[in-house]
A and B are shown apart, each in its own frame.
Chain A
Amino acid sequence: MMDLTNPIVWVHEEALGPANPALQDHPKAPALFVFDQAWIGAQNISRKRLGFLYECALELPLTLRKGDVVQEVLAFAQRHGADGVVTSAPVAPRLNRYATRINRELPLWILDGDPFVELPRTPRLGRFSRYWREAEPVVWESFRG
């Protein structure tokens, strides 16, 4: 895969900390957090939650914007003459849809952070007890008592 020479970092609300792999790998790249107005409106997100996100974002080297996430990310990339976007792997389907739309316009790299537990094969979900039977012993492997 071709290297991005001048990417921006898109930080979304699942990775507002220093463990964000996109920030770790691209510490000098301009980074952006967007308050997602579609989400805020649709979910009636209260000011408490916005304030919490704002305070989290302020402790990272980010530019803060509000509006349509995809448009804002693409405009920010253009503002910095970026050749691509790097972000951390999102879980929320909404964020994954944004990622797909961004990727239609610019190359998007999605990086995985440190996992809580790395399982040799996809675990059986359905019920926690089932999952935990497989995952718990692996989680504890790194414990040195």
Chain B
Amino acid sequence: MPRQDRRLVDQLAPVPAASSSLDPGDLPRQLPNREALNSLLQQEFPEASGQLSPIRGGRKAAEMRLSKVDPARYARSRNHLEGMVTGLSPYIRHGVLSLAEVRDAVFRRIRHRDEGGKLINELGWRDFWQRMWLELGDAIAEDQEEYKTGHPASSYSRELPQDLCDGCTGLACMDGFHEQLVTTGWLHNHARMWLAAYVVHWRRVHWRAGADWFLEHLLDGDPASNHLSWQWVASCFSHKPYFFNRDNLERYSNGRYCRACSCADRCPLEGSYEALESQLFAVSQPVRAVPARGKSKSKRKR
């Protein structure tokens, strides 16, 4: 762009930061509020759908979250949707906080190792996924192993059904998770697992369709954690598929979805693990009895 135009831009811009070095095409650093950011993004990236998340980016927000981390309470309550989870994942994913910083913060806050074991373990998962990504590269988007569900990979739909995209499956839990995913860009890990299992096993959708959908929305979206966790649920990256039942979801969500669900009396998630297993999978051997290498329990959670 000619120099003339550049001067014009400088004059018109209200308070450009470091205006001496502002070039045409630099995106503004001075935005009065989030509404201005929202409008700017709409103008600059018209193809990007939705609105801003209520979750703010930046180091200040990250430090605020980090200051609230309680490793012992995390360990006790993390599987509950209302549990004391950290909400740090978007900040860790983008390096706003490094894993090393979070590790040190946890160490400073505990007196005994067992208070911090669970949380350090989760940081270990993040490190593990990153190492896997370095090793696998783009192959992370492919099935790591075959499905152990008894169904051929080709039987899984490559596209998300419309009712799932629109968040109108009729299941209060799944539609609730959809709403939270699309408006906030964050979901509790347990909700991610339930939603993924529902998509893959109940709706017979290929994990990749679900994983790509998550990446559009999740602030912490990262093919390493995301794609491999979806594959873990699907059984392409584990010894058996992950699934759950209504009791499990109801317990860890304090019944908040089931209470108001129009499908409560004909819930497809309801049933014993044995019954659901024979309904969902086509394997001769019980899925849940397949011994994992190591000593994992049959009802796995992470």
How many B residues touch A, CB cutoff 8 Å?
A: 80
In-complex Cβ contact of B56 among A41, A55, A139 (8 A): A55
A93, CB-defined interface residue at 8 Å: yes
Contact with B along A56-68 (1 / 0, CB 8 A): 1011100111110
- CB < 8 Å neighbour of A19 from B44, B97, B110, B293: B97
Contact of A116 with B135 at beta-carbon distance under 8 Å, contacts A17-B97, A19-B101, A48-B51 already known: no
Inter-chain contact B111/A64, CB cutoff 8 Å? no
Contact of B52 among A35, A47, A125 (CB under 8 A): A47
Given contacts A45-B216, A55-B56, A91-B224, contact A115 B100 (CB under 8 A): yes
Q: How far, in angstroms, from A92 to B110 measured CA to CA in the complex?
A: 33
Given contacts A40-B48, A116-B123, contact A52 B57 (CB under 8 A): yes
List, in ascending order, chain B residues with CB within 8 A of A88's CB.
95
Query: B110 to nearest A CB, angstroms?
Result: 7
CB of A69 closer than 8 Å to a CB of B: no
Q: Is the C-beta of A120 less than 8 angstroms from some C-beta in chain B? A: no
A140 touches B27 (CB 8 A): no
Smallest Cβ distance from B49 to chain A, in angstroms? 5
Q: Considering the complex, which residues of chain A in the window 1-48 have a beta carbon less than 8 Å from any beta carbon of chain B?
A: 13-20, 30, 35, 40-41, 43-48
A132 to B123, CA, bound (A): 11
- Residue among B58, B99, B293 with the highest chain A CB neighbour number at 10 A: B58
The residue in A20, A44, A56, A114 that gathers the most chain B C-beta atoms within 10 A of its C-beta is A56
Expressed in whole angstroms, the Cα–Cα distance for A125 and B134 within the complex equals 11
Measured between beta carbons, the chain B residues less than 8 angstroms from A41 are: 47
B84 close to chain A: CB less than 8 A? no
A125 touches B57 (CB 8 A): no
Is A143 in contact with B51, judged by CB distance below 8 angstroms? no
Contact between B95 and A20, CB atoms less than 8 A apart: yes
Q: How far is the CA of A139 from the CA of B103 in the complex (A)?
A: 9
Do A145 and B112 form a contact, CB below 8 Å, given A46-B50, A128-B125? yes
CB within 8 Å for A55 and B57 given contacts A40-B45, A48-B52, A49-B185: yes
Task: Flag if B41 contacts A125 (CB, 8 Å).
Answer: no
Tell me the smallest distance from the CB of A106 to a CB of chain B, in Å: 19
Q: Inside 8 A of B134's CB, which chain A residues have their CB?
A: 91
User: From residue 89 to 129 of chain A, which have CB atoms closer than 8 A to chain B?
Assistant: 91-93, 113-117, 123, 125, 127-129
| Beyond A53-B57, A54-B41, A140-B113, 10 extra complex contacts between A and B, CB < 8 Å | A14-B95, A16-B96, A41-B47, A44-B212, A45-B215, A48-B50, A49-B221, A63-B23, A91-B133, A125-B128
Please, could you name 5 A-B residue pairs with CB atoms under 8 Å apart, sorted by A?
A47-B45, A48-B50, A65-B27, A66-B44, A142-B103
